[in-house]
Structure 1
């Protein structure tokens, strides 16, 4: 565990790439700290919440890109908030980052379900990821992957959006007899599966590579099933970063979930 504010805890879950893994943790965690400081401006009566959220995206993006450039000057970066340099397609190492995942939740004081994503793709393979959840002070990463928690024995829990309930996801939840758990950002949902708080996170209808790269890296390191909703592999650092669907779930549920989603 690296030294950081006493209110923060680092949960290492990685693949043995210590230098890259530690850098991902430190950068994601520090970006989260900056966002928490910035969020305090929302409490100012005359602050424009929309501008606070836009400024937060820029602040985190600029910090992460700068930190990566300082540590890894030869690497490429794909960020939700940055211009896409397609030279990354031929690069051996590409960092894929979401400076603020769950901007809506960030803008609601008291909500903790937003995150910062930092992931590394090497020669087309997702190798390192860190998901910082600044409000509770936890950063999950791809080192020392834990064994998934034992099944609870009750009805499976499916994490869903507060605002969108796509029919395929709801049909899958019905087929499982699942309990629904509402949550905000993609990173928060994925880490809920990693922690064992829920059993399934399925997304359809639109995401980009930065929405899922770091969460998928962490979930895979934790021994969870990760794929597209048709069971195919999640591929990163493509020319078009649109990656519209995702499944993260307990491995023993994967077959049933994929079968229902395929109907």
Structure 2
């Protein structure tokens, strides 16, 4: 259980300033590798990791943990230390979300950093370096893109909705019959969800087994933009559990959540 006596004194706004600056600088570092044939390895789960992922992970750990030594740490590129479970507040980081896109020289990758407290994100920074787009949010204070307030759009009809999902769902009959427009796949799951927050997509779908680091920052962005990131039954996500994996998910406006959940449940079960 978290140690209540170790509760941080810093505000979510102060944490946001810290992670925003760190995410932006990490993106700058990543651009030094982007398009320059970085070294690539395969991890045990056969997903790729590059020397840039590891360099950003080291930078973010040094900057963030150095500034907040009392916080826990969870990153895709750091061996999971279950000591994080004893911390009320922690950083949840994906140094490069969308590594395959990064390797291929495509634009749809991002740096994702969140602060989680009590199982929910309270500050989020998502930086898209190629497009110089910085998404920020704190709990209860809205979401912004490059300083401008953003909001999910008001579509209430599933037919005609533009939905971002993984390649595995393209051309699935149930989605086509519902009249859903499946836009080009976006490799960064965090960015896929952020595009719902800023209204450029009506909804996003994630198949099962996404992880805390893929989701925490984007979850807060879409929540503060007036949307929801939930499982297919409408349950809110909880972070910093022993198992950091999540089931199939949808991000959308409240008006579309139930209808989309029904369709996606029929596809993913």
Give the TM-score taking structure 2 as reference length.
0.81
Q: How much does 1:211 deviate?
A: 0.8
RMSD value over aligned CA atoms? 2.4
* Structure 1 residues 173 and 155, CA gap change in structure 2 (3 angstroms): same
Q: How much does 1:90 deviate?
A: 1.5
* Structure 1 residues 208 and 166, CA gap change in structure 2 (3 angstroms): farther
Question: SS of the residue aligned with 1:77?
Answer: strand
Contact 2:155 2:255 in 1 (8 A): no
* Structure 1 residues 251 and 55, CA gap change in structure 2 (3 angstroms): same
Q: Say whether residues 1:96 and 2:92 are aligned partners.
A: yes
Q: Distance in 2 between matches of 1:171 and 1:220?
A: 30
* Structure 1 residues 260 and 127, CA gap change in structure 2 (3 angstroms): same
Q: Say whether residues 1:227 and 2:230 are aligned partners.
A: yes
Question: SS of the residue aligned with 1:190?
Answer: helix
Q: Say whether residues 1:23 and 2:18 are aligned partners.
A: yes
Aligned to 1:189: 192
Aligned to 1:207: 210
Which residue of the other structure, out of 179, 182, 190, is the alignment partner of 1:180? 182
Q: Say whether residues 1:132 and 2:127 are aligned partners.
A: yes
Question: SS of the residue aligned with 1:211?
Answer: helix
Structure 1 residue runs without a partner (length 5+):
1-15
Aligned to 1:13: none
Q: Distance in 2 between matches of 1:252 and 1:152?
A: 5
- Stretches (4+) displaced over 6 A: none
Aligned to 1:148: 152
**Paired residues, number:** 240
Contact 2:76 2:95 in 1 (8 A): yes
Q: How much does 1:17 deviate?
A: 2.4
Structure 2 residue runs without a partner (length 5+):
1-10, 43-47, 144-149
Q: Distance in 1 between matches of 2:177 and 2:125?
A: 32
Q: Distance in 2 between matches of 1:81 and 1:48?
A: 15
Q: How much does 1:53 deviate?
A: 5.2
Q: Distance in 1 between matches of 2:247 and 2:257?
A: 19
Which residue of the other structure, out of 157, 160, 164, is the alignment partner of 2:165? 160
Aligned to 2:77: 81
Q: Which moved more, 1:144-153 or 1:175-184?
A: 144-153
Q: Distance in 2 between matches of 1:79 and 1:92?
A: 16
Which residue of the other structure, out of 59, 64, 81, is the alignment partner of 2:60? 64
Which residue of the other structure, out of 237, 257, 260, is the alignment partner of 2:260? 257
Q: How much does 1:252 deviate?
A: 1.0
Question: SS of the residue aligned with 1:148?
Answer: coil
